[in-house]
């Protein structure tokens, strides 16, 4: 089935969705689709033709029809609102939200690539190769890393990253990224990811003493929520990560490697009374 993330016009998506379903099921007409979303067929035709906008009240029905998950639903609703936007400010705000929701293409690492997460500096060496490709000079590479890493460890990282298919040499012998963005795949052992995250949290704590305040952003927030609000908050956090990835994707000449840690965890629990 087609992906809503491939579209910047909600009407084009709806048209493609209807055509794809009809190609699979001859009886899947515009009239049938209109009935499923409780909408007048003539009105839906005009929406598909670009003569009318989809009523905002029909978004939930479209979500159910297309079996959107929460991110797909948010993306589709943003497309509808963008189509209705009247000011430049609205267009810019909604476009930025689309970029954040769409995210960037990220390769999931397999379980046999778990060594990548065994030490934090493997990720940093890999990222540095994406900024300033190198073919030696491991001592100089190590000096760029905070805290500093020895030339021997940089060399070991390069060898590991090459073996795992995450770095490759170009025709001049420079090490370059094989994949622009990576993350733990579904089959990556959870304990491997937890250990890596723990290393990054310890680096964050170290940064409080060693990194000037104008070169970092460390903040905390204590709030009260319903446990049922947790999925909404997690989706907002995911949206922030995707938006920052998009900024990184569009960065023409990066000159630094940054680590972003976002933690959300309970520090108090109010249990229901037992009668």
Identify whether the C-beta of residue 16 lies closer than 8 Å to the C-beta of residue 2: yes
Phi, psi of 194 (to 5 degrees): -60, -40
**What topology is assigned to 111-218 in CATH?**
Arc Repressor Mutant, subunit A (1.10.10)
Q: Predicted confidence band at 248 (pLDDT cuts at 50, 70, 90)?
A: confident
Q: Give residue 273's pLDDT.
A: 54
Residue ranges covered by each domain of the chain:
4-102, 111-218
Q: Determine the number of helices (DSSP H) and then strands (DSSP E) in the chain.
A: 11, 4
DSSP result, 64-125 = HHHT--HHHHHHHHHHHHHHH--SHHHHHHHHHHHHHHH----EEEPGGGGGGGSSHHHHHH
Burial class (CB in 10 A: 0-12, 13-18, 19+), 113: buried
Q: pLDDT tens digits, residue range 89-142?
A: 899 889 888 888 887 778 899 999 999 999 999 999 999 999 998 999 999 999
Flag whether the pTM goes above 0.75: no
Taking residue 105's Cβ as centre, other Cβ atoms within 10 Å add up to 10
SS3 labels along 202-215 = HHHHHHHHHCCHHH
In the beta sheet, which residues pair with residue 176? 168
Mind listing the pLDDT tens digit for each residue in 52-93? Answer: 999 999 999 999 999 999 889 999 999 999 999 999 889 988
| Biggest distance spanned by C-alpha atoms of the chain | 74
């Amino acid at each position: 089935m087609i992906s809503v993330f491939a579209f910047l016009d909600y009407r084009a998506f709806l048209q493609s969705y209807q055509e794809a379903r009809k190609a699979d099921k001859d009886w899947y007409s515009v009239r049938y689709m209109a009935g499923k979303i409780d909408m007048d067929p003539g009105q839906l035709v005009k929406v598909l033709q670009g003569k009318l906008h989809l009523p905002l009240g029909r978004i939930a029905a479209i979500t159910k029809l297309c079996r959107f998950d929460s991110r797909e639903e948010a993306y589709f609703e943003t497309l509808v609102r963008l189509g209705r936007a009247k000011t430049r400010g609205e267009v810019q705000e909604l476009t930025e939200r689309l970029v954040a929701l769409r995210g960037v293409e990220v390769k999931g690492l397999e379980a046999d690539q778990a060594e990548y997460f065994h030490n934090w500096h493997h990720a940093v060496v890999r990222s540095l190769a994406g900024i300033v490709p190198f073919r030696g000079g491991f001592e100089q590479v190590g000096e760029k890393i905070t805290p500093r890493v020895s030339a021997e460890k940089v060399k070991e990282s390069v060898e590991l990253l090459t073996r795992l298919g995450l770095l490759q040499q170009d025709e001049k012998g420079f090490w370059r990224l094989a994949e622009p963005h990576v993350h733990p795949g579904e089959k990556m052992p959870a304990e491997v990811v937890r250990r890596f995250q723990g290393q990054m949290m310890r680096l964050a704590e170290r940064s409080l003493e060693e990194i000037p305040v104008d070169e970092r952003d460390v903040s905390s927030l204590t709030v009260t929520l319903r446990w049922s609000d947790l999925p909404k908050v997690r989706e907002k956090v995911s949206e922030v990560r995707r938006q920052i990835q998009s900024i990184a994707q569009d960065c023409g000449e990066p000159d630094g490697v940054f680590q972003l840690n976002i933690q959300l965890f309970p520090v108090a629990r109010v249990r229901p009374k037992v009668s």
